[in-house]
Amino acid sequence: MGIPLEDMILLLVRLGGGFIASFLGVWVWSRTRNPAWTLAVLGVLSLYVQVAWDALVLIGVAEADLWAWREIGLLRLGLTALPYLLFAAAFLVWLIRNRRY
């Protein structure tokens, strides 16, 4: 059947952009030990893991709903929620460390 061209192009753009953001994030991580930045970089890296997982599912190497609970893929749910939880934690840590009120 094959992968639709639009899906392939969007996936390649996400993989390319994610690679650049992850590379720069690791570079920032190596230059700072600020917990807020560390959490933000981990959020970017987890977004890239999510894109890589979607790529593996799209080309048929991995199964989308490997572990499911009530027809919800737990791995996909975790990979979707994790980056946003890490970003929220990064913002919270930054706010706590930079209180000026």
> Each residue of 7-26: pLDDT tens digit?
889 989 999 999 999 999 99
Task: Please compute the mean of the pLDDT values over residues 59-77 and round it to a whole number.
Answer: 78
Give per-residue burial for 54-80: e unless 16+ CB within 10 Å, then b.
bbebbeeeeeeeeeeeeeebebbeebe
Report the pLDDT value the prediction gives residue 67, as an integer from 0 to 100.
75
Please report how many Cα atoms fall inside a 13 Å half-sphere around the Cα of residue 78, on the Cβ side. Answer: 11
Which of 77 and 72 is assigned the larger pLDDT? Answer: 77
Q: What are phi and psi of 16, to 5 degrees?
A: -65, -50
Please report, for the chain, the start and end positions of each structural domain, with discontinuous segments joined by +.
5-97
- Phi–psi pair at 98, nearest 5 degrees: -120, 40
Of the candidate ranges 17-26, 41-50, 63-72, 84-93, the one whose mean pLDDT is the lowest: 63-72
Look at residue 1 and tell me whether its pLDDT is greater than 90. no
pLDDT of residue 101: 59
Instruction: Identify the weakest region by mean pLDDT among 14-18, 51-55, 68-72, 75-79.
Output: 68-72
